[in-house]
């Protein structure tokens, strides 16, 4: 059986651990915690970069399974993203004008990250920003057009826009037709690297009003490229390691040229986790493989998308109520906040996963299969 037809347990577990890391990073700024602990969970952006690498692997394999056909692929993607996103986004819009209660949390300074996570300002261009979120185009606008559209209303939605840009670009670059996708994967990886290099040049040369946020695909294309190059490694194809190594070097180079030295870590972390999935015995990564393939990590992997999307509005609602209850008592707030800000989003995510996400995924697969069968009958006739 091919590797691409098997469940990648280690990478599912990695997805779960990354989602919990993002959750921890969003809750930590509200609590009174040691500085070292706050800093240790403050790299949520790097965790999302690893999500993008993982997406490069998963989405390319999905395209391969449908021979690059746009309709079944997009049906499956819509079913994957929108059924969970839409109710959570509606909740985020509903509570957007609600004050976060910072007046009851004097331990949080005006420049603390909590103010970026919990916002109570209604956007000036709210109609355009609502439409941008609903169409997943909120990452396409430069600073001079809609400067905060990429994070307004629902912060985590910025990466969903980046994902959709990747879906469309992959469809355009790979094209359709049986047998073409597998042979084109290495080309897709290099084309994404070229796009990333263009993004660096644009960052250096363009005026401020024409700069793009990190939600713009060109600013993240090198991470997707590394995921695409990982497909051949997972499938154990000849020459895969050489292609992967070249893409890894290019990805690290783009990170360095972009002036983001901290971004060097996601490609390296991914490489270790990919090795734990594909070659745990050869390089003795069995302990890591066992952690990533554990039932706990797998569970969090299953609900990871729900956790990622829902944690911010849930945290805002919790912060409003607990701030009133604690009324300036930092210790009381922290003692209640830490467990509740972990447990409540997980409970809500579990419910969303079971009652919304799983049924939607089944519908998406059925709709994609039905369309493919219909096309096959038309061709047969």
The average pLDDT across 323-336 equals 94
Number of compact structural domains in the chain: 1
Q: What is the mean pLDDT of the chain?
A: 89
- Looking at the domain assignment, is residue 37 inside a domain? no
> How do residues 15-42 score in pLDDT, each as one tens digit?
999 999 999 999 999 999 999 999 888 8
Among the listed residues 304, 306, 328, 315, the one whose alpha carbon sits nearest the alpha carbon of residue 116: 315
CA triple 31-33-39, angle to 5 deg: 105
Handedness of CA 344, 347, 353, 359 (dihedral sign): negative
Give 93's pLDDT tier (boundaries 50, 70, 90).
Answer: very high
Task: Give the per-residue pLDDT at 287.
Answer: 81
- Can you tell me the mean pLDDT for 318-322? 95
Q: What is the mean pLDDT of residues 209-237?
A: 93
Distance CA 134, CA 97 (A): 19
Q: How far is CA 260 from CA 163, 220, 270, in A?
A: 21, 12, 17
Which of 160, 131, 134 shows the shortest CA–CA distance to 146?
131
**Tokens 């096959």 sit at which residue?**
376
pTM comes to 0.93
Spatial separation of the C-alpha atoms in residues 346 and 308, rounded to whole Å: 10
pLDDT attached to residue 291: 86
Tokens of residue 24, six digits: 């921890």
* Tokens 């395209």 belong to residue: 63
Q: What is the mean pLDDT of residues 233-242?
A: 86
pLDDT confidence of 280, banded at 50, 70, 90? low
Tell me which residue of 218, 231, 123 sits closest to 181, measured CA to CA: 231
Average pLDDT over residues 166-182: 72
Of the segments 114-128, 173-187, 258-272, which one has the largest average pLDDT value?
114-128
Q: Which two tokens stand for residue 252?
A: 């690290």
Could you tell me if residue 110 is inside a domain? yes
* Residue 126 pLDDT class (50, 70, 90 cuts): very high
Under the banding of pLDDT at 50, 70 and 90, the label for residue 10 is: confident
The model's pLDDT over 200-221, given as tens digits with 9 standing for 90+, comes to 999 999 999 999 999 999 999 9
The answer to whether residue 380 is domain-embedded is no
Q: Is 295 exposed, middle or buried (0-12, 13-18, 19+ CB in 10 A)?
A: exposed
**Helices 295-302 & 9-27, crossing angle to 10 degrees?**
70
Q: Is the pLDDT of residue 374 over 50?
A: yes
Contact 209, 146 (CB under 8 A): no
Q: Which domain holds residue 206?
A: 3-32+42-375
DSSP output for 240-258: HHHHHHHHHHHHHHHHHHT
pLDDT in tens, 186-200: 789 999 999 999 999
């Amino acid at each position: 059986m091919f590797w691409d037809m098997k469940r990648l347990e280690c990478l599912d577990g990695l997805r779960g651990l990354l989602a919990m890391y993002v959750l921890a990073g969003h809750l930590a700024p509200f609590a009174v915690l040691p500085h070292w602990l706050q800093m240790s969970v403050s790299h949520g952006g790097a965790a999302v970069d690893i999500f993008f690498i993982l997406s490069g692997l998963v989405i390319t394999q999905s395209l391969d399974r449908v021979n690059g056909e746009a309709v079944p692929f997009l049906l499956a993607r819509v079913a994957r993203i929108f059924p969970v996103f839409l109710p959570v986004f509606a909740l985020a819009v509903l509570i957007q004008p609600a004050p976060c209660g910072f007046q009851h949390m004097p331990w949080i300074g005006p420049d603390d990250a909590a103010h970026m996570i919990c916002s109570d300002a209604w956007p000036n261009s709210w109609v355009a920003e609502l439409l941008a979120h609903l169409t997943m185009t909120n990452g396409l606008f430069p600073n001079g057009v809609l400067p905060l559209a990429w994070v307004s209303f629902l912060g985590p939605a910025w990466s969903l826009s980046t994902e959709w840009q990747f879906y469309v670009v992959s469809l355009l670059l790979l094209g359709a037709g049986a047998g073409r996708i597998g042979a084109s994967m290495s080309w897709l990886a290099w084309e994404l690297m070229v796009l990333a290099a263009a993004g660096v040049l644009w960052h250096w040369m363009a005026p401020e009003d024409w700069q793009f946020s990190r939600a713009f695909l060109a600013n993240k294309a090198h991470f997707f490229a590394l995921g695409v190059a990982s497909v051949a490694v997972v499938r154990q194809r000849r020459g895969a390691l050489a292609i992967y190594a070249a893409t890894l070097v290019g990805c690290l180079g783009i990170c360095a040229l972009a002036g983001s030295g901290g971004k060097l870590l996601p490609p390296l972390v991914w490489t270790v986790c990919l090795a734990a999935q594909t070659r745990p015995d050869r390089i003795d990564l069995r302990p890591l493989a066992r952690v990533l393939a554990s039932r706990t990590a797998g569970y969090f992997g299953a609900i990871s998308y729900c956790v990622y999307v829902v944690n911010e509005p849930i945290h805002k609602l919790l912060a409003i109520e607990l701030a009133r209850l604690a009324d300036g008592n930092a210790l009381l707030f922290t003692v209640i906040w830490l467990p509740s800000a972990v447990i409540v989003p997980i409970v809500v995510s579990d419910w969303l996963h079971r009652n919304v996400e799983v049924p939607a995924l089944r519908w998406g697969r059925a709709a994609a299969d039905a369309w493919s069968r219909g096309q096959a009958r038309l061709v047969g006739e």
